[in-house]
Amino acid sequence: GKKIRVNTNGLANLIHGKDVTPMFEGIVDVVSISLNTPDPEEYLRLTRSRFGKGSFEAMLAFARDVKKYVSSVVLTTVEITNTI
């Protein structure tokens, strides 16, 4: 009766070189993806992904694809506030 949640950066398909989203079906209840920022350029600057500019779009594609197999997919960003 316990729910299984996976927290991810959403780059699993790039890391494994194939679509891994079907593997979530029937096993995972919630997938939570940290966007870090809603902007592709800022995303690359912050994450310095080894996959380059395509990382942001690949992450969004992963979110769309995994939704076919997991009923709850959550995308989050963190607001950064600078104080002096």
pLDDT one-digit tens code per residue, 5-23 = 999 999 999 999 999 999 9
Strand 30-34 and strand 72-76: the pairing is parallel
pLDDT one-digit tens code per residue, 60-79 = 999 999 999 999 999 987 76
Start-to-end Cα distance in the chain = 47
Pick the more confident residue, 60 or 1: 60
Helix (H, G, I), strand (E, B) or coil at 33: strand
pLDDT one-digit tens code per residue, 26-46 = 999 999 998 878 788 888 888
Whole-model pTM over 0.95: no
